[in-house]
Amino acid sequence: MKLAVVLLALLSCMLLFELGMSQKDEQKVKPAADKKAKVKPKVEKKAAEKKTKVTTVKPKPKTTPQPPAAQTHLTQVLQRGRFQKVGNTLTVVAGDTLELRCKGSPVQWGIPPYLEEDDEGRLRTVQHDRYGTLILANTTGADTGEYTCFPMYCEDVECRKEYNKAVKVFVFFADPQELFVPSANYYEIIHLRSNRPTVLPCQITSPQAKVTLHREYPPTEVKVDGAEISYEVTRGFTIHRPKQYHAGSLYCVASLGNLRQSSTKYMLIYVNYPAAPPAPFIQASSDPVTVGQNLQVTCTVVGDQDVLVEFTWDYPGQTIGRPLYTQDSMQTVQVDGQSRQRSQSVLLVDEVREVDQGTYTCTAQNLEGSRSASTTVKVVPARSANKPKKP
Ligand SMILES: *[C@@H]1O[C@H](CO)[C@@H](O)[C@H](O)[C@H]1NC(C)=O
């Protein structure tokens, strides 16, 4: 934590130094204390607190030589030509204009998905000689999200994003009426997948809001201990290892000052996901098989318990409309002292004909994906074996 603060301080100082050196139009950069007075104290309180910590280590850069600034920076353009280096998050009062500046020629911008769909003409990006700007006017709480600058690397006319130099800032548009980013839906269905963390976004518009997690039935507050469930202001609640008992209807409550609001509801449905797609094993009852005999091709998957595996078949007789007869079964087996589930599909081919010769493929599918296995079966004429007996 302390290290992070020191690093942040160093970065801020490097930027201030660099801005002063390299961009004459940015000479108006003012010390942090000045910014505090400018922005609304209610919303910027936390940011102001952070700044005080930063100032204690500030004198350092004057005595230490500066390494070349390889890292790109995002700068917020404030009113009357003032600039402010932005950290990981930034708070703007909803209704105000956001103006970000990013060094690079050219740069590309990443914006929240909702804005990508339709910004209603409020979003403008301008490329200057040495930097690009993003200007978002008439902002609302719904604009809250991640804004990214990608400096572009160009050769002749071909340009590509330099992902390793991308800089992000999560911007909150603090709306005194709407603590949560508005959602189009009254409730959202979320699959609690047993094999990966589940996130309940309930994104707030103001980082100062206090957020709690609640269950609808029975009405209880859900304990957020930071291990099983954790909370992050730019991400929401994360259930790290979803279990059946996490399922149900949950919602978030945000409070700030006298305001207390509930988020959209999240219907959590537990789904037992396998760790991986199934690995089928295929085997024919005999190969070659004689015309007139019965053939069985067995496809077997041994995997996690309570995971549904579905089988589909491709077989030579398919092309002439031979019907498909299969017998599917499931059973618990012990493998290396562990209970595993054996899922099996047997393809039955009665009275084999020549058209049944060829490749048999079984595809096993579970929620994580599908895998196939194939085997070839040769069909031999019956007469060659029977003829000598019968004449
Ligand atoms: C912002 O809102 C004002 C007032 O409704 C409007 O006149 C102006 O055109 C808007 N600006 C943009 C860029 O949408």
What are the angstrom distances between the C-alpha of 161 and each of 115, 124, 131, 297? 20, 20, 15, 51
How many whole angstroms separate alpha carbon 274 and alpha carbon 306? Answer: 9
- Give the distance (Å) from ligand 1 centre to CA of residue 28: 28
Q: What is the pLDDT of residue 384?
A: 53
- Give the distance (Å) from ligand 1 centre to CA of residue 220: 43
Report whether 148 contacts 167 (CB < 8 A). yes
Residue 317 contacts by C-beta under 8 Å, 6 or more apart in sequence? 349, 353, 355, 356
- Give the distance (Å) from ligand 1 centre to CA of residue 66: 43
Q: What is the pLDDT of residue 74?
A: 87
**Residue where the block lists tokens 């911007």:** 171
- Give the distance (Å) from ligand 1 centre to CA of residue 191: 40
User: The whole model's pTM is what?
Assistant: 0.62
Task: Write the secondary structure of the chain as one string of H (helix), E (strand) and C (coil).
Answer: CHHHHHHHHHHHHHHHHHHHHHCHHHCCCCCHHHHHHHCCHHHHHHHHHHHHHHHCCCCHHHHCCCCCCCCCCEEEEEHHHEEEECCCEEEEECCCCEEEEEECCCEEEECCHHHHHCCCCCEEEEECCCEEEEEECCCCHHHCEEEEEEEEEEECCEEEECHHHCEEEEEEEECCCCCECCCCCCEEEEEEECCCCEEECCCECCCCCEEEEEECCCCEEECCCCCCEEEECCCEEEECCCCHHHCEEEEEEEEECCEEEECCEEEEEEECCCCCCCCCEEEECCCCEECCCCEEEEEEEEECCCCCCEEEEECHHHHHCCCCCEEEEEEEEEECCEEEEEEEEEEEECCCCHHHCEEEEEEEEECCEEEEEEEEECEECCHHHHHHHCC
Q: Whose CA is nearest to atom 4 of ligand 1?
A: 138
- Give the distance (Å) from ligand 1 centre to CA of residue 138: 6
Residue 188 contacts by C-beta under 8 Å, 6 or more apart in sequence? 264, 265, 266, 267
- Give the distance (Å) from ligand 1 centre to CA of residue 91: 21
Report whether 349 contacts 294 (CB < 8 A). yes
Q: Whose CA is nearest to atom 10 of ligand 1?
A: 138
What are the angstrom distances between the C-alpha of 253 and each of 175, 223, 264? 16, 13, 10
- Give the distance (Å) from ligand 1 centre to CA of residue 121: 9
Q: What is the pLDDT of residue 375?
A: 97
Q: What is the pLDDT of residue 34?
A: 38
Q: Whose CA is nearest to atom 13 of ligand 1?
A: 122
Q: Whose CA is nearest to atom 12 of ligand 1?
A: 122
- pLDDT-flagged residues of the chain (< 70): 1-72, 383-391
What are the angstrom distances between the C-alpha of 152 and each of 105, 127, 147, 360? 7, 12, 16, 51
How many whole angstroms separate alpha carbon 183 and alpha carbon 205? Answer: 12
How many whole angstroms separate alpha carbon 51 and alpha carbon 352? Answer: 82
Q: Whose CA is nearest to atom 8 of ligand 1?
A: 138
Atom of ligand 1 nearest to the CA of 124: 13
How many whole angstroms separate alpha carbon 244 and alpha carbon 136? Answer: 43
How many whole angstroms separate alpha carbon 103 and alpha carbon 129? Answer: 9
Report whether 79 contacts 93 (CB < 8 A). no
How many whole angstroms separate alpha carbon 238 and alpha carbon 210? Answer: 16
- Give the distance (Å) from ligand 1 centre to CA of residue 382: 85
Atom of ligand 1 nearest to the CA of 138: 1
Q: What is the pLDDT of residue 72?
A: 61
**Ligand 1 pocket: which of 115, 138, 139 to mutate (most atoms within 8 A of CB):** 138
In order of their start, the domains of the chain are 74-174 (2.60.40.10), 187-271 (2.60.40.10), 281-384 (2.60.40.10)
- Give the distance (Å) from ligand 1 centre to CA of residue 120: 10
| Span 6-18, pLDDT tens digits | 444 444 444 444 4
Q: Whose CA is nearest to atom 14 of ligand 1?
A: 122
How many whole angstroms separate alpha carbon 213 and alpha carbon 229? Answer: 10
Atom of ligand 1 nearest to the CA of 137: 13
Residue 229 contacts by C-beta under 8 Å, 6 or more apart in sequence? 213, 222, 223, 237, 238, 239, 240
Q: Whose CA is nearest to atom 3 of ligand 1?
A: 138
Please list every protein residue whose CB sits less than 6 Å from any atom of ligand 1: 121-122, 137-138
Q: Whose CA is nearest to atom 1 of ligand 1?
A: 138
